A = this chain, B = another copy of it.
């Protein structure tokens, strides 16, 4: 039987930067995982399974693997608990923050159903750059 060679890269459709972003996380699930790691304090496989959108186990495993290959997410062991697996964002993953903030701002402006509080969105609009710097310095400190 033919074994699929994982090291083969998907052929990319073009070298456009928008297309690169789409091929990295242009599906219905990947950005939700990144959101949970970035904003919702989730670190473990089990925690990532519990989001509102109800990702299934096989999809989550597949996406985490992809994100590791792309060096957006890193997999490590918990220092205090050797058996526990911890996922975290790499620098490349953390650099998605401005994108996440713009997505949040746009949806907050146009989706009446959004759960993001208006006060947060207002703050975002005014102090986006400072917000980015604050969160980044928080990471550097840790």
A interface, CB within 8 angstroms of B: 12-24, 26-28, 31-32, 35, 51-54, 92, 95-96, 98-100, 102-111, 113-116
Q: Are B22 and A104 in touch, CB under 8 angstroms?
A: no
Given contacts A20-B114, A21-B106, A102-B102, are A28 and B26 in contact (CB under 8 A)? Answer: yes
Which residues of chain B come closer than 8 Å to A20, judged between CB atoms?
A: 107, 110-111, 113-114
Pick the most buried of A26, A35, A52: most chain B CB atoms within 10 A of its CB.
A26
What is the CB-to-nearest-CB distance from A49 to chain B, in angstroms, rounded to a whole number? Answer: 14
Considering residues A16, A111, A114, which has the most beta carbons from chain B within 10 angstroms of its beta carbon?
A16
Smallest Cβ-Cβ distance to A116: which chain B residue: B17
Copies of this protein in the complex: 2
Contacts of A100 in B (CB 8 A): 18
Residues of B within 8 A of A108 (CB): 17
